[in-house]
Amino acid sequence: MPSPTEKPSDMRLLILLSVLLCSCNQHIDSATQAYRQTKSVSYNSVSVDVIIDKPAKNDLDVLLVFHGTVMSDREILTAANNTLDKFKAILDSKDMMIVSVAYSQENVLLGDR
């Protein structure tokens, strides 16, 4: 959960940068391989899971997506996976890496923080 002084946009930028750095640190041989994996990004004692869907290309655009409000924190990863799948189907793009953020928000609406 972000601190009261931390802006949600700052957290999103941190997540995007962390994901890009993690993705770029992969071994060169696997750079052209497609994968879908879940990683945890931590900053200032805040840990957020992200689901990365990378196509088998090196030169990619990156789309960062956030799921809508869920009824309980148990549904976070399901919501993040569903959001990723829906955006992937809409885009129908083979050169887009999609990162879906799985953040806790129980009893809080998206953007209320």
92 in any annotated domain: yes
Please count the structural domains in the chain. 1
Gap between the Cα atoms of 88 and 17, Å rounded: 21
112 in any annotated domain: no
81 in any annotated domain: yes
23-37 tens-digit pLDDT: 555 444 456 788 999
Q: Which two tokens stand for residue 37?
A: 């994996």
CB-CB contact of 72 with 107 (8 Å)? no
1 in any annotated domain: no
2 in any annotated domain: no
When pLDDT is cut at 50, 70 and 90, the band that residue 71 belongs to is confident
- Lowest-pLDDT range of 24-28, 74-78, 103-107: 24-28
45-68 tens-digit pLDDT: 778 888 989 988 888 888 888 887
Over 50: is that where the pLDDT of 43 sits? yes
Domain span at 47: 8-102
CB atoms within 10 A of CB 105: 20
- Lowest-pLDDT range of 10-19, 75-84, 93-102: 10-19
83 in any annotated domain: yes
50 in any annotated domain: yes
26 in any annotated domain: yes
Q: Which two tokens stand for residue 112?
A: 């209320």
